[in-house]
Amino acid sequence: MRESGRHLSVQLDGAFAFDDDGPPPLSRLCRLGEPALKVYLTLVLATRKAPHQLFRGTSAARFARMLGYDNAEDDNPKSAGTRKVQRALASLHREGFIVRTPRPGRVDLIEVHHVAGKFRPPYVTIPLDLWVYGWINVLPGHALFAYLVLRHACAGDETREVHVAPYIRSAYGLSDETWAKGTKSLVRFGLLTERLHNPDDRDLPRRQRKVYKLRSSAMGSVATVIEPDRPRSEEA
């Protein structure tokens, strides 16, 4: 992370998350699976400047340990976690998110394709605490997807409550099921609050709707795994 030159956050073009004309890159990444999403975000973190190549070669086994897929003390090229990362890298290469160039006797050279758009607000900004305190390791893929969508929806201003209507969620390539699971997980991890709200606008139907407020400040402490059926508040 120090070698990346980043200090506070990773900033991505809004087109990474939102596209009226088809599934945006974030949605496509999620369809490749949780490991692919987490590996790609970590590669973007590590490649701030063009040509967006890794400053130092990193093996799949090292990525597996970094992202919590392998808890061994040393890199294990044959572990299940390493194979999971290898499949993620292969899918990222196949779908054009990265280019891997084999180097005999060394780890592959990886060049990362950063999403290029008009690069104007709202951006998708990701706090470095996601990596520093291990949140990227413990958040399920659907929760990470919902978190990035909400970071874009609130334009990085977490003092705002936001409502993400179903027709807007479609531009994020986000299904109702994934949205429900993702927001529920974020609430359980203490990273999101939600409440029912009655709109004051007379032109809107008089019905309650859910509004959300992110709490990225909660990432300032070490992340812990939460069991599926136990709220965070019940943990010792």
pLDDT in tens, 85-111: 999 999 999 999 999 998 888 888 999
- 168 and 92, same domain (yes or no): no
CB-based contacts of 54: which residues, under 8 Å, 6+ apart? 43, 46, 47, 109, 110, 112
- 96 and 142, same domain (yes or no): no
- 195 and 101, same domain (yes or no): no
Are 147 and 200 within 8 A, CB to CB?
no
- 208 and 133, same domain (yes or no): yes
CB-based contacts of 25: which residues, under 8 Å, 6+ apart? 15, 16, 17, 97, 115
Q: What values do phi and psi take at 191, rounded to 5? A: -100, 0
The CATH number of the domain holding residue 163 is: 1.10.10
- 24 and 95, same domain (yes or no): yes
Using the 3D structure, point to which of 112, 139, 168 is the last residue of a domain: 112
Looking at residue 96, the DSSP 8-state letter turns out to be T
Six token digits for residue 81: 């976690």
Per-residue pLDDT band at 151 (split at 50, 70, 90) = very high
- 145 and 207, same domain (yes or no): yes
User: Each residue of 153-197: pLDDT tens digit?
Assistant: 999 999 999 999 999 999 999 999 999 999 999 999 999 999 998
- 137 and 85, same domain (yes or no): no
Using the 3D structure, point to which of 85, 112, 139 is the last residue of a domain: 112
Domain count, the chain: 2
Q: What values do phi and psi take at 195, rounded to 5? A: -155, 160
Domain that holds residue 133: 128-234
Q: Which of the two residues, 5 and 136, has the higher pLDDT score?
A: 136
Taking alpha carbons only, the member of 57, 55, 53, 77 closest to residue 65 is 77
pTM for this prediction: 0.89
Residue with tokens 């945006």: 24
Six token digits for residue 163: 């409502």
